[in-house]
Structure 1
Amino acid sequence: MPRIVAVGACYIDTILTVPHYPGEDDKLRASKIAHRRGGNCPNTLEVLRDLARCHPNAFPNMEQLELRLLAVLPAEGSPATEFIRESLCERLLYPLCIFREQVQEAASSYIIKSQGTGSRTIVNYNGLPEMTVDEFIQKSRQIRTLANAVSTWYHFEGRIPEVTIRCIQFLRSDFPQYKISVEVEKPGREGLTALAAAADLIFYSRSWAENQGYHSGKECLEAQLSKTRDDAMLCCTWGAGGASAVLKSPHSTQAWASVFSTIGAGDTFIAGMLYALTINDFMSFQQKLEFANELAGRKVVQEGFAGLADQLHLT
């Protein structure tokens, strides 16, 4: 049974849709308000869950895919945690989530969505004490005592790199058979290149790549090849420019794949790649990238993640 553990923050988003972005000290009436569960890793797990649920015949070895979230949440009995539990299902939260019983509010994003320009302005707030390395070690050893998985994959959002790198080092030491992926997303965040150097699979964002002076996904990956493990896979999404990926080998040869047909959505693209990679040799390298890219392209034309897996029509 394959297992994927996603390590990252879980948010509750409040989205206000307005006719235009307000100026300072303005008053403006919103046309719509919505509340949803957010966060990179929870979003990715939601898509993975639906893929495994919708297409057991296409990927029979994924039927019992075990998905877990390792995140810091507010008090276990709080309304915020109940909202998150209902959105993800209880099985994904236990036993790895860490509950801060002294805190009632979840990490939150307040999003102003302008109908005039299509822009989204986001303000984040997180009053939860972050996960410590010791807590990660305890939880990782705890899940090891559960039913044995055929393979285990840890995916890290790339938050607080100085903590994340020590978590990865622990896994490399105690569980060297595990696969590890990381997101290199936030421009200017120190320590992300060190995380990339320690991972088996790296997801570079367009915003990070452009901040580094790159003009395409392939240019970014070519520059990062020498800074990653010999057997690593590197991916970079580029919005309407599609996605590029490179698979290194210990013998310094590379296999490239690119797709340019659809717009990408990061969390969904990551779910597609993790899903395709977990089914081992069912797809070629190019097919895995195309699968993830198509899934991401379908995400950007709808609100939320519901129904994405159904649209793929896999048999």
Structure 2
Amino acid sequence: MSLVAIGACYVDTILTTPYYPGEDEKLRASSISRRRGGNCPNTLEVLQQLIAHNLSAENISLDLIAVLPAKLSIASQQIQSAFEPHVRLAHCIYRENVTEPASSYIIKSQSSGSRTIVNYNALPEMTEKEFINIADRLGPRASWFHFEGRTPGVTLSCILYLRQKYQSVKISVEVEKPGRPGLQELAEEADVVFYSKSWAEGNGYHTPEECILQQSAVARKASLLCCTWGQDGAVARDTKSQVTIYSPAYSAEGFQVVDTIGAGDTFIAGILYALLCRGDEWNLSQKLGFANRLAGMKVSQEGFAGLARALESFQSE
């Protein structure tokens, strides 16, 4: 079994400041950190930890399809070393005329807890033709494709190709950016849909329940719909049984918010793990509860290291 995630891979530079600076203001950061980022790479980083912690899931392989700079560039070499051998990058697309990676510069305000992100990306996006060539090379080995929903027009064409050529594959998609046209059409073609709070609010929904219930009438091919709502938890709906479950955000004694970057990506990793590795062993409430726990534990620490411990604490209850 193989899960293939398709999305952008970024190099993040994170500056922590006492407050968000005003225009033309000089401000000293209290810390700086650099790490590999991007929605799908973050999800795969957490997912590979969970799979490695589960002996019965050892036969699941993980692949990333991302557009990267020249293969021998320092950035691509660092990205490869960060992932392999647990996540395969054999099907990534290298732009040999570009040496700089896609980059995010993130200002984290300690006073408000906000994060302001400035992106830079000179890499041409993946084309439909490039994806089709990769999908055909993967063939029937890939059983699940997860899309970031980055370029909806191209992504929709890729999904429709998979539906036509490889009808047994499962497809999940992330619907995140509120101002990005075409995401609704992606949701209508997927088996599993992850809605963000920002997208839901941007489309007139006031609660995750409202989003999920109304979307279930539109995303008719989906078997599972999930909507995260930050500190107010998340909602999931099994469209076959028409069961809707709410799960509060996870917090433990002494819980503090440390780093919210990648919390949504971590939640997605939790749901994908539950679907791929736990199946009918966990009910919908357990799957959603685990994903919330995983995301909550991520928020309480810097980065993604050691999140597999969520499995131990979850199973011990």
Partner of 1:196: 187
1:103 to 92, 98, 106: 98
Partner of 2:300: 301
Deviations 1:101-142 (A, max 9, x none): 110011000011122222211100100010000000001111
Residue 167 (structure 2) pairs with residue 179 (structure 1): no
Q: Map 1:148-163 to 2 at 5 A.
A: 149=141, 152-163=143-154
- In structure 2, stretches of 5+ residues that fail to align are 252-259
2:273 to 267, 272, 275: 275
**Aligned partner of residue 226 in structure 1, secondary structure:** coil
Q: TM-score, normalised by structure 2?
A: 0.91
Counterpart residue type for residue 305 of structure 1: F
**Aligned partner of residue 129 in structure 2, secondary structure:** helix
Q: CA RMSD in A?
A: 1.6
Deviations 1:208-262 (A, max 9, x none): 111112121111011111111245211001111111111112xxx5122221142
Q: Is the 8 A contact 2:293 2:310 kept in 1?
A: no
Aligned length: 303
Deviations 1:254-282 (A, max 9, x none): 12222114279210110011111112222
Q: Is the 8 A contact 2:172 2:192 kept in 1?
A: yes
Q: Is the 8 A contact 2:80 2:89 kept in 1?
A: no
Counterpart residue type for residue 45 of structure 1: L
Q: TM-score, normalised by structure 1?
A: 0.92
- Please give the alpha-carbon distance, in whole angstroms, between the structure 2 residues aligned to 1:105 and 1:307: 29
Q: Is the 8 A contact 1:70 1:93 kept in 2?
A: no
Bigger Cα displacement from structure 2, 164-173 vs 26-35? 26-35
**Aligned partner of residue 236 in structure 2, secondary structure:** strand
Deviations 1:19-41 (A, max 9, x none): 22222122222221111000000
Residue 35 (structure 2) pairs with residue 36 (structure 1): yes
Moved >3 Å (runs of 4+): none
- Please give the alpha-carbon distance, in whole angstroms, between the structure 1 residues aligned to 2:248 and 2:111: 28
Residue 24 (structure 2) pairs with residue 25 (structure 1): yes
Q: Is the 8 A contact 2:191 2:221 kept in 1?
A: no
- Please give the alpha-carbon distance, in whole angstroms, between the structure 2 residues aligned to 1:259 and 1:64: 30
Q: Is the 8 A contact 1:8 1:70 kept in 2?
A: yes
Q: Is the 8 A contact 1:230 1:248 kept in 2?
A: no
- Please give the alpha-carbon distance, in whole angstroms, between the structure 2 residues aligned to 1:204 and 1:244: 10
Counterpart residue type for residue 159 of structure 1: R
**Aligned partner of residue 268 in structure 2, secondary structure:** helix
